Amino acid sequence: MSTIAKDFGMDEALRLLGIKDINEGSSTGQNSFGSGPVISSYSPVDGVLVGKVKATTQSDYDKVMKTATAAFKDFRTIPAPQRGELVRQFGNKLREAKESLGKLVSYEMGKSYQEGLGEVQEMIDICDFAVGLSRQLHGLTMHSERPGHRMYEQYHPLGVVGIISAFNFPVAVWAWNTTLAWVCGDVCVWKPSEKTPLCGIACQNIIAQVLKDNNMPEGISCLINGDYKVGEMMTTDTRIPLISATGSTRMGKIVAATVGQRLGKSLLELGGNNAIIITPDADIKMTVIGAVFGAVGTAGQRCTSTRRLIIHESIYDKVKNAIVDAYKQLRIGNPLDENNHVGPLIDKDAVAGYQDALKKVVDEGGNIIIEGVVLSGEGYESGCYVQPAIAEAQNNFEIVQHETFAPVLYLLKYSGDVTNALDLQNGVAQGLSSAIMTNNLREAERFLSAAGSDCGIANVNIGTSGAEIGGAFGGEKDTGGGRESGSDAWKVYMRRQTNTINYTTELPLAQGIKFDL
């Protein structure tokens, strides 16, 4: 273990998370691991090996699915409030493990320690939400047109839910899905990103202990590790009625096509190309805070990261200068050191994507305001630290139309009223998160109207990043249309059933049809 890791107590954090033997892998619960090729996890913080896991083979996968499907037969019959009690206990275990798991998230993924703690807090929050939900899985009753009949709708568990998550939120997105799925009566098979496998093992260790303490089947929570080939085992498997996949639009289209071909369901949370509209009536101080955190938080590796600022021409220079001044104050370095604002990108492939984007924006006629630089020297040995960059560009540039998963912020200028800004904001393929900064009520309401933002998330006077678990999270267009977390997102994890009960001695037909024998 590196000096950085030791200085920040990573050895103790791993011990508390139950990761004593680093050579762990796929798991059906407490003690069964994979037998495939070794996956090595290197920290982008210092380039040092964090640990190794073994990938899931087809044989391992079949054992996992056998265990999961068997567990579902029992789990679906447990009353929902009792399933909620398991989630309550899981949330309490997360509270105990918050510091250790937050450190692991920060060290293995590279986000700041504060963001790592925040991600674990999201897990705790969704547990609390799910516990309450376990007593609110409501159906509907309706009046029948036939006398002596009663009609209602109810929801039943789907079965095995497959979860494919991305590296940038290595624990929270799993919790969004799995806590709701559990209270709904489903069991879960999770393939975390192969870039952050130890985070997955830590989470599995925590829930495995809860299941063991309650004498629950281990197949309620299953973990598998590997690359896209393991994901293909899930997407082609008819035993998994729902696949929840988080990642790139390219990946999501493959998942949707594969799952759709077998008439399964998919919940897709894909790319974003998020913009903040800044009108002449904006509060500049608030705008700078929201825009800078949105652009550089998690080193620009959030699906809700701010990619574009659409600024009215009358205040363009004022906003540009304020943003540039703020960027000059950013501290880039070890994310476990809370004095730093920005940590590393996940790996050198991400660095290459960052460099490529900046080259393309110049080739298309853009102007770099803050130069993109790969940092080197003491503290930057991993080669994954970059200077967050700012470029003036046009919305129709090809590179601006695409999501670059790195801290590259494009400044765009608009004239006229907010309708012109909305045309720019909506003029991309993605539709995840959006925001407007204005103190003008008419502009705010126009932004939120049916003719306004076409994104799944639309904020007024806050940035594009930092969603709360109470609201449904997701987006439209190339973002995939999925909804996770709060509101009524639970319904995707269940199947709806309409019931009609006849309590008479006659059998009248609907629509007045006569059929006498």
Could you tell me if residue 512 is left (phi over 0), alpha (psi between -120 and 50 degrees) or otherwise beta?
A: left
Which entry of 188, 303, 384, 455 is annotated as an active-site residue? 303
- Round to whole Å and give the CA distance between 135 and 242: 23
269 catalytic? Reply is: yes
Is beta strand 408-414 parallel, antiparallel or unpaired with respect to 306-312? parallel
Q: H or E segment at 210?
A: helix 197-213
What DSSP string runs through 340-389? -SB---SSHHHHHHHHHHHHHHHHTT-EEEE---B--STT-TTS--B--E
CB-CB neighbours of 413 under 10 Å: 18
How far from 453 is each of 107, 257, 292, 427, 471, CA to CA, in Å? 36, 27, 21, 10, 17
How far from 239 is each of 25, 159, 167, 375, 390, CA to CA, in Å? 22, 8, 26, 47, 47
Q: H or E segment at 113?
A: helix 113-133
Say how many CA atoms lie within 13 Å of 245 toward its Cβ: 28
203 catalytic? Reply is: no
- Is residue 401 within 8 A of residue 242, CB to CB? The reply is no
Which entry of 269, 403, 443, 484 is annotated as an active-site residue? 269
- Is residue 54 within 8 A of residue 60, CB to CB? The reply is no
Q: Phi first, then psi: what are they for 49, rounded to 5°?
A: -65, 120
Active site (catalytic) residues = 269, 303
